[in-house]
């Protein structure tokens, strides 16, 4: 449960940054990258602590964050 609270904090901070600074595209870009990176790190730490960290899992979190980043960039930079 504490793991999910930290994830919730990361995602809320990312959401707030993207919405509150909607007029600053460069800041939004940085926030999007930071949120996606933090998500991958959250996955690594979470699975490491659960002793089930595998390369496939890392690849999955990376792919999820890359897709999220592509979607956000396509809207922020459009």
Partner 1 sequence: MRIIKLLAHLFVPHESNNQKAKILHPSGLLVLAFLAISFQLILNIFPKTFPRVLGYAASISPSEVVRLTNEKRAQNGLLPLTENSVLSSAAIAKGNDMLAKDYWAHFAPDGTSPWNFFVNFGYKYRYAGENLARDFSNASSAVDAWMASSTHKENILNANYKEVGIGVVEGDLAGVDTTIIVQFFGTPQNAAAAIPAAQAKETSTTLPTPKPVTKAAVQKIQPTPTVEPVSSLTPTPAPTQVPMGSLISPFTSTKNLSLAIVGILLLVLSVDLIVVRRKRIARIGGRTLAHIAFFGMILAVILILKAGEVI
Three-class DSSP category at 78 = coil
Query: Which residue is listed with tokens 């459009």?
Result: 78
Is 54 a residue that touches partner 1 (CB under 8 A)?
yes
Q: Which is nearer to partner 1, 33 or 60 (CB)?
A: 60
How many residues lie near partner 1 (CB under 8 A)? 40
Run of H or E including 32 = helix 25-49
d(CA 33, CA 28): 9
Note the residues at the interface with partner 1 (CB under 8 A): 4, 7-8, 11-12, 14-15, 18-19, 22-25, 35, 39, 42-43, 46-47, 52, 54, 56-57, 59-68, 70-72, 74-76, 78
């Amino acid at each position: 449960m504490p793991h999910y609270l930290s994830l919730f904090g990361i995602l809320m901070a990312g959401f707030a940054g993207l919405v509150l600074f909607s007029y600053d595209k460069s800041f939004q870009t940085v926030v999007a990258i930071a949120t996606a990176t933090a998500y991958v790190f959250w996955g690594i730490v979470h699975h490491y602590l659960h002793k089930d960290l595998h390369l496939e899992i890392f690849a999955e979190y990376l792919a999820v964050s890359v897709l999220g980043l592509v979607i956000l960039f396509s809207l922020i930079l459009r």
